[in-house]
Amino acid sequence: MVLVTLDQNITQSLKKAEIIPDIVPEGFTSSTLVSINYPNGEDVALGNFIKPSDAAEVPTVTFIAPEKDAEYSVLMVDPDAPSKENPKWGPYRHWVTTNIPSSVDFTQATELSAYTGPAPPPKTGNHRYIFLVYKQPKQDIAFNTLSKDLSCWDFKSFVKENQLELVGVNYFISKNDDN
């Protein structure tokens, strides 16, 4: 009963923030909770506000792996670049780490795209920073090198090409201090 209620809360939050259906497909059911903690003590909590300066450093991501023999990938995207009203540069790729073991030991993972903290431009309103956790179809995937350009990243093609299965989501809201 608790998991059903929790899943309903996650789904409601994702729909309210228009993450479903923009980023996460309709019908998504979370199979793990994703915890993101920044070094300064800020925690990501399904749409809470975090200042860009408080999310500048690489966070610690934890989750309970739904399958112990699988490996996982974590993506962080901002679909609102440069703004939610005009997302011509979105989704903006902020982080991609793959081949994460079920122990969630990131030191054994492969970082395809280094962490880039939020930097929303002035006067562009709120931005959604979304962490997506995917189960990989097999271990030690040799992912293709990603483009150096972080803007306009077609993460949905990346997910499809690599046959990744979405298992968890979390996100926060941020905006430029000059807004």
What is the rounded end-to-end Cα distance, in angstroms, of the chain? Answer: 42
Question: Measuring CA to CA, how many Å separate 24 from each of 2, 21, 51, 153?
Answer: 22, 5, 24, 15
pLDDT of res. 131 = 98
Q: Which of 102-106, 132-136, 174-178 has the highest mean pLDDT?
A: 132-136
Q: Which long-range contacts (CB under 8 A, 24 or more apart) does 106-115 make?
A: 106/61, 110/143, 112/143, 112/145, 112/146, 113/146, 113/150, 115/57, 115/58, 115/59, 115/76
pLDDT given for residue 9 in this prediction: 86
Pairing type for strands 48-49 and 165-174 reads: parallel
pTM given for the model:
0.94
Biggest alpha carbon–alpha carbon distance for the chain: 46
Q: Per residue in 42-55, pLDDT tens?
A: 999 999 999 999 99
Q: How far apart are CA 93 and CA 111, in angstroms?
A: 13
Q: How confident is the model at residue 5 (pLDDT cuts 50, 70, 90)?
A: low
Q: Say what the pLDDT of residue 80 is.
A: 97
pLDDT digits (tens, 9 = 90+) for 155-176: 999 999 999 999 999 999 999 9
The average confidence (pLDDT) of the chain is: 93
pLDDT band at 95 (very low <50, low <70, confident <90, very high): very high
The reported pLDDT for the residue numbered 2 is 44
Strand order in the sheet with 43-44: 43-44, 34-37, 60-63
**Residue showing tokens 């729909």:** 15
